[in-house]
Amino acid sequence: MILRLNLRFSYAKMSDMGTSKSKKIRWKKVIIIGGGASGITAAISAARMGAEVLLIDHMDRIGKKILSTGNGKCNYTNRTQGVRFYRGEDPAFVLPVFRQFGFAETIRFFHELGIFPKERDGYFYPASGQASSVLDVLMMELRRLNVDVRTGCEILSVRKKTHTFEIQTRQGTFVSDSCIFACGGMAFPKSGSDGSAFPHIEAFGHTFTSLVPALVQMKAKQSFFKSIAGIRADSLVQLYINDQMVCQDRGELQLTKEGISGIPAFQVSRYAAKALANKQTAAVRLDFMPDLSVRELKRELEERFYRGDGKTAQEALIGMISKNLIPVFLKQSGILLHHPADQVSKKSLAALTGTLKQTTADIVDVEGFDRAQACAGGVHTSELSAHTLESRLICGLYFAGEVIDIDGMCGGYNLQWAWSSGYVAGMHAAGLPTETTESANDASDHTALIRKQKG
């Protein structure tokens, strides 16, 4: 049995547009597959345009991943925007989307829903400090717009008919004019982003770039990490692929028993994961004294070691670097902990300078998707319209969010892409309503009404 969407905005009479004509307009029906950040936003956008909207998710509730973002505080966007904060085979793909719904629109969108913004160094959070607040206001808007939300709804097939889509699920078969895949990538599969919808996408002829974990801990070959696990240090992380530096980031690095974690490691991890997937070598150079040049560090070490104050090599470094790191750095440089500082050779100090400025670690793996904050890779952007996010292969088929080959850096960028791509996909999927006896003169009336609904 085919179930029809029972939502408001089913039909609008021409009299509602200030005319006495009795013609009827059939508003578009839009089905969205995936109830994450992009899917929810797409549903709101399409419904505001007047479309009948059905939001389907195979999990028991929608928006699970939103609750875990920003350590439960939801860093939902960032004031600093630009192509450099987004990755993929074509990062510039984000620009036409952001021109329609970018940072300013996002702040206004959430403020109107009830989120009072709290900014910290350009990072935006809800003033409540709770990610649940973001999901709560989105859910309230879905209810206000009468969006039909179906959870625990497993997709069996998605087929394109002549002018419609037929989505067969465990809860029945639904028909729509447009379909949006907002099913996420592979990161944090417990939230629902498990790749289960990918076969349906591929059935339409779409292809994926390689999928790897992003914003994730990296594992190193060197054994000394076991002795410094748990230590945090301000560091510059430079990633080398096949001995060529490809990117770098600075921040608080967290050393683990298997390698490195923390924001600077996360920022470069997607490139390491891609390289390893392509059988390339990956290594990081860690600069634990990023504020000093090699010459400045060498001079500082000589002053500390050659004062003649009776300190040991270990004692000479106290106050400069973490106590827990001192034994490791001295051992790596061939210096005994309790050796008199003023008897350490300049050659050994040069080795210590090199250790502090360029500790090298060979990356052999990254943590899996279950530990990743994002997924790198997705549907090839060349197969989509950068303006509407509609498929170039199938008319009426749209994509939003992480399922597209776009991923962002830490700092609210992945959520910004979710909000923006979701809103734009929903807006265009809803499109103009259709009418059985539409005349050319009515087109401007249609546009005006849609603008009214959108506003």
Residues 296, 302: Cα–Cα separation, whole Å: 10
Residue 26: the pLDDT is 66
Tokens of 232: 């945090």
Residues 195, 454: Cα–Cα separation, whole Å: 32
Q: What number of CA atoms fall less than 13 Å from residue 4's CA on the CB side?
A: 4
- Under the banding of pLDDT at 50, 70 and 90, the label for residue 413 is very high
- Under the banding of pLDDT at 50, 70 and 90, the label for residue 432 is low
CB 330 within 8 A of CB 314: yes
List the chain domain ranges: 2-211+375-454, 217-367
Question: Over 50: is that where the pLDDT of 181 sits?
Answer: yes
- Under the banding of pLDDT at 50, 70 and 90, the label for residue 208 is very high
Number of H helices, E strands in the chain: 13, 25
Q: Which residue has the tokens 């950040």?
A: 37
Q: Which residue has the tokens 């770098």?
A: 248
Nearest of 426, 389, 419 to residue 66 by alpha carbon = 419
pLDDT tens-place string over residues 311-358: 999 999 999 999 989 999 999 999 999 999 999 999 999 999 999 999
Question: Over 90: is that where the pLDDT of 407 sits?
Answer: yes
Q: Which helix (H) or strand (E) holds 116?
A: none
CB atoms within 10 A of CB 172: 12
Q: How far is CA 228 from the centre of its chain?
A: 30
Residues 279, 419: Cα–Cα separation, whole Å: 34
DSSP string, 329-395: HHHHTT--TTSBGGGS-HHHHHHHHHHHH-EEEEEEEE--GGG-SEEE--B-GGGB-TTT-BBSSST
Residue 274: the pLDDT is 97
Q: Please give the model's pTM, rounded to 2 decimal places.
A: 0.88
DSSP 8-state assignment for residue 436: T
Residues 65, 36: Cα–Cα separation, whole Å: 7
- Under the banding of pLDDT at 50, 70 and 90, the label for residue 25 is low
Question: Over 50: is that where the pLDDT of 248 sits?
Answer: yes
DSSP 8-state assignment for residue 312: B
What interhelical angle do 294-305 and 346-357 show, nearest 10? Answer: 130
Residue 70: the pLDDT is 84
Residues 349, 330: Cα–Cα separation, whole Å: 10
CB atoms within 10 A of CB 351: 18
The arithmetic mean of pLDDT across residues 82-92, rounded, is 97
156, with CB counted inside 10 A (0-12, 13-18, 19+), is exposed
Say which residues have a Cβ less than 8 Å from residue 444's Cβ, sequence separation at least 6: none
Residues 315, 333: Cα–Cα separation, whole Å: 16
The arithmetic mean of pLDDT across residues 406-432, rounded, is 96
Residue 90: the pLDDT is 98
Higher pLDDT, 447 or 224: 224
Fold of 2-211+375-454: FAD/NAD(P)-binding domain (3.50.50)
CA angle, corner 239, sides to 372 and 227, nearest 5? 75
- Under the banding of pLDDT at 50, 70 and 90, the label for residue 71 is confident
Q: How far is CA 406 from CA 276, 308, 378, in A?
A: 19, 57, 7
Q: How far is CA 18 from CA 24, 26, 117, 440, in A?
A: 13, 17, 39, 16
Question: Over 60: is that where the pLDDT of 9 sits?
Answer: no
pLDDT tens-place string over residues 346-404: 999 999 999 999 999 999 999 999 999 999 999 999 999 999 999 999 999 999 999 99
Tokens of 287: 């600069």
CB atoms within 10 A of CB 186: 24
Q: What number of CA atoms fall less than 13 Å from residue 170's CA on the CB side?
A: 10
Report the chain's mean pLDDT, rounded to a whole number: 90
pLDDT tens-place string over residues 228-237: 999 999 999 9
CB 98 within 8 A of CB 387: no
Sign, CA dihedral 146-149-150-154, equals: positive
